Amino acid sequence: MSYTVPALDDIAQPALATRLQQLLDNKTKPVGSLGQIERLAQRIGLILGSEAPELQSPQLVVYAGDHGLAARGVSAYPSDVTWQMVENFLAGGAAVSVLARQHGIGLTVVDCGVRHDFAPRPGLVLNKIAAGTADALEGPAMSAAQCRVALASGAALVQDLPGNALLLGEMGIGNTSAASLLLSRLAGLDIADCTGAGTGLDAEAVQRKIGILRQVLARHPDATDPLAALAAFGGFEIATMVGSVLQAAQERRVIVVDGFIASSAVLVASALQPAVLQCCVFAHRSGERGHALMLAHLKAEPLLDLGLRLGEGSGAALAWPLLQSACAILREMASFEAAGVSRQEAADQPQAL
């Protein structure tokens, strides 16, 4: 399957940015007093190209896939948990299922490469590329052709989704290892600084994990460009997410990025097309060790810092009401003139005694 990285327009729009800032500054509040919510409102306005942005039919997609490297003991859980959690998502029992219901967010689960055969049903998209990636310590996790298929399937998935907001989620035992490898290679960081406990490894197991990942990096010294690194270390779910992120940015959807794994997909996508980041809202700073470094590399300002490390898109769903509030502030909050409220003085002049 052929795939071409889409061209993305710069959405800076200085005139609209100035107008949005004027609108925010003229609301009945001290200038800047809503802090990050004001910056969020302006970002959403720029993405959607509107002075009164409205978020419509938000879609949370959980991308699921298994990893051959998991057999090396890099996770505290067996690979079977991937397919078992997919069933839990579809049954409505997972954290992200609960949060999506609570906030009226559409939930889709995509089998990108789970080592299990699922019965077709509503809410499940079967885009299985293979039954899990290969062991990255023995060779590339996926072939270049498989990587292209994953990218194309991720793009096609977004094209079929309604709405103007995409929330990213994932499920895949072993995928913190893939994300750590991508961060280390693409950001030029030591793998020890990029690697954490994942699903709950103890300190000794984390050191073993770091040793394995260091061997993987040494096994693929030439996988330095974004797509080569993605194929070498990837995960079918991460590669599919990369295709979705690029497509969503091309369509000017608001992309709500969850934690470490989702951010690794944005890391790859932005290395291919830097303008991707203009369409991204980073939901939270994960408790996973490498995520703060990844956010710093992407120059991203997360909305929340709650010690989350679940994945699934749970952080994106928890942050969603903040995006709704930011839009509501722009659309509905009164101006000083409309409310008949006096403005702050232009300058605080010392009073004569």
Active site residues: 312
Secondary structure of residue 303 in the 3-state scheme: coil
Sign of CA dihedral 292, 295, 299, 302: negative
Helices (H) and strands (E) in the chain, counts: 14, 6
Question: For residue 254, what are its two tokens?
Answer: 């608001």
Residue with tokens 């050191």: 207
Secondary structure of residue 306 in the 3-state scheme: coil
CA–CA distance, 258 with 302 (Å, rounded to integer): 10
136: left (phi over 0), alpha (psi -120 to 50) or beta: alpha
- Beta-bridged to residue 64, according to DSSP, are 111, 171
249 exposure class (CB count in 10 Å sphere: 0-12, 13-18, 19+): buried
Residue with tokens 């509107």: 50
248 Cβ contact partners less than 8 Å away, ≥ 6 residues apart = 158, 166, 255, 279
| Length of the chain in terms of residues written | 353
Backbone torsions φ then ψ of 108, nearest 5 degrees:
-125, 135
CA–CA distance, 277 with 83 (Å, rounded to integer): 31
CA–CA distance, 283 with 306 (Å, rounded to integer): 11
Cα angle value 158/132/204 (rounded, 5°): 110
